[in-house]
Amino acid sequence: MAVTRRLVLGASGALAAPGLLRAQGGAPIRIGEINSYTAQPAFTVPYRNAMQLAVEGVNARGGVLGRPLELITRDDAGRPQDAVRLAGELVNDQKVDVLAGAYLSNVGLALGEYAAQNKRLYVGGEPLTDAMVWEKGNRYTFRLRPSTYMQASILAEEAAKLPAKRWVTVAPNYEFGQSGVKWFRQLLAARRPDVQFVGEQWPALGRVDAGATVQALEAMRPEGIFNVLFGTDLTNFVRQGNTRGLFERRSVASLLTGEPEYLDPLGDEAPEGWIVTGYPGEMIDTPAHKAFASAYRGKFNAKPMCGSLVGYALINSIAAGIAKAGSVEVERMVEGFRGVRFDTPAGPAEYRAIDQQGTLGVYVGRTALRNNAGVMTDWRYIDGKDLLPSDEVVRGLRPASAS
């Protein structure tokens, strides 16, 4: 404990003290950020806003290593191949010191691959796939946000407390949906051997035939439903489910549904009583979060979204990592980022040395309706470090080359 506290103090000291002396003189430290700005604007725009806010904050405090931060963003159009090309542009042409970004898992993996191949530091913000730090993990890739495994494990823990025994799953048919269901089933079955999974639905991503899917789930007569649908699929699913009474007297556990990005569009049809992971936004009343939320609202006249939290924390984590490394030389940054502690609006977090996964936590709670809009209630924040498997398991998952 004493060690970590000293580390925090050390990191924040490095962040502030030398900066005050030399902030004016140094050339900026450039962060090259790539994201799906045109393909996923609803998520990436609040995220980019918060990144800008964080950069201004860091620079107002004197920058990092006495140098200001500079953020350069690029649009990958939702295509990993474009992200790789633009990574080359940012590194070779713009001479950035750190690569960051990605919303889609495949873009995150492609950038991680580029980073490993070209020995550059890459810090992923939003991608959820477990592979990014485990099976396909590498020395140069860090990831901030809680992974699919972490989100599914807290839902499985909550679902295990319910009386429901007959479960069905519904998930978009691609890697994220498939691993979400895999982990939930595995972790719930481990806690509750009496639970049965009696059916599954796999609509194609972005093209759910909601009526038929709801009808098929209804016919399975489940007691509990595990949902991984999100975005427009979720909207359609919830509407058909409400009309057809699918959710009545049934328990529902749902991945990500508590994020305002997904919950807000449901409007007054937001389901009540679903167990969800998400982001309660301005209801969080810790001083750190209040400061963040009011600064964000002040600058953009909008409430912070989950993406905003990630974008803000991402920049601060990069600043802390560079400060701890004391250099922007790649290998020193890798060592510096490992185990670096940083503050986020949600609470303190770190990049674990063992798998380079961030311990930004998960908010879990229940959905409810307030003033005809969906909100999270009874929520609590679980530190990411408590949601990960044992070190032994993690070591087995990561390739040896990633050390």
Partner 1 sequence: MDSVLPQLLTGLATASSLFLVASGLTIIFGVTRIVNFSHGSLTMLGAYIGWSILTRLPRDPAWFALGILLTALATALIGVLIERVVLRRVYRAPELFQLLATFGVVLIVQDATLWLWGAVELPLPRPRWLRGFVEVAGGRFPFYDLVLIAIGPVVLGLLWLVMNRTRWGTLVRAATLDREMVAALGVDQRRLFTSVFALGAGLAGLGGALSLPNASANLGIDLSVITDAFVVVVVGGLGSLPGAFVASLLIGILQAFGIVLVPKITLVLVFLVMAVVLVFRPNGLMGRPQAEAREAALAAPVVRAAPPALRWLGAVALVLAVLAPFGAGDYYLTVLTDACVAILFATSLHFMMGPGGMASFGHAAWFGIGAYAAGLLLHWAGAPMPLGLLAAPVAAGIVAALFGWFVVRLSGVYLSMLTLAFAQIAWAVSFQWVEVTGGDNGLLGVWPPDWARSPRVTYWIALALSVGVALLLRRALYAPYGYALRAARDSAARAQSIGLDVARLRLVALVIAGAACGLGGAIFSYGKGGVFPTYISIPHSVEALLMVLLGGLQTVAGPIVGALVYTGLADLLVRSTDLWRLVLGAVIVLLVTAFPEGIAGAARRLWLRGREA
Q: Would you tell me which residues interact with partner 1 (CB under 8 A)? A: 37-38, 41-42, 45, 74-75, 77-82, 84-86, 88-89, 91-93, 104-106, 109-110, 113-114, 117, 129, 131, 136, 173-176, 178, 200-207, 209-213, 215-216, 218-219, 231-232, 235-236, 239-240, 242-245, 264-269
Calculate the alpha carbon distances from 127 to 58, 110, 144, 356, 390 in Å.
24, 11, 9, 14, 22
| Cβ distance to partner 1 smaller for residue 202 or 381 | 202
Q: By CB neighbour count within 10 A (0-12 exposed, 13-18 middle, 19+ buried), where does 343 fall?
A: middle
| Cβ distance to partner 1 smaller for residue 69 or 110 | 110
Please report how close the Cβ of residue 64 comes to partner 1 at its closest, in angstroms.
Answer: 26
| Cβ distance to partner 1 smaller for residue 110 or 360 | 110
> Rounded to an integer, what distance in angstroms lies between the CA atom of residue 108 and that of residue 322?
21
Laid out side by side, the sheet with 69-75 consists of 69-75, 29-35, 98-101, 122-124, 141-143
Please report how close the Cβ of residue 117 comes to partner 1 at its closest, in angstroms.
Answer: 6
3-state secondary structure of 32: strand
Of 293, 290, 262, 265, the C-alpha closest to 276 is 262
Please report how close the Cβ of residue 269 comes to partner 1 at its closest, in angstroms.
Answer: 7
| Cβ distance to partner 1 smaller for residue 110 or 253 | 110
> Rounded to an integer, what distance in angstroms lies between the CA atom of residue 398 and that of residue 403?
9
| Cβ distance to partner 1 smaller for residue 11 or 208 | 208
Please report how close the Cβ of residue 127 comes to partner 1 at its closest, in angstroms.
Answer: 10
Of 234, 286, 314, 231, the C-alpha closest to 47 is 314
Please report how close the Cβ of residue 178 comes to partner 1 at its closest, in angstroms.
Answer: 5
Please report how close the Cβ of residue 9 comes to partner 1 at its closest, in angstroms.
Answer: 39
Please report how close the Cβ of residue 188 comes to partner 1 at its closest, in angstroms.
Answer: 20
| Cβ distance to partner 1 smaller for residue 215 or 286 | 215
Tokens of 337: 């980022």
| Cβ distance to partner 1 smaller for residue 237 or 379 | 237
Q: Between helices 306-325 and 287-300, what is the axis angle to 10°? A: 110
| Cβ distance to partner 1 smaller for residue 19 or 278 | 278
Q: Indicate the residue type of 187.
A: L
Query: What spatial distance separates the first Cα and last Cα of the chain, rounded to whole Å?
Result: 25
Please report how close the Cβ of residue 300 comes to partner 1 at its closest, in angstroms.
Answer: 14
Beta carbons of 30 and 70 less than 8 angstroms apart: yes
DSSP state of 357: B
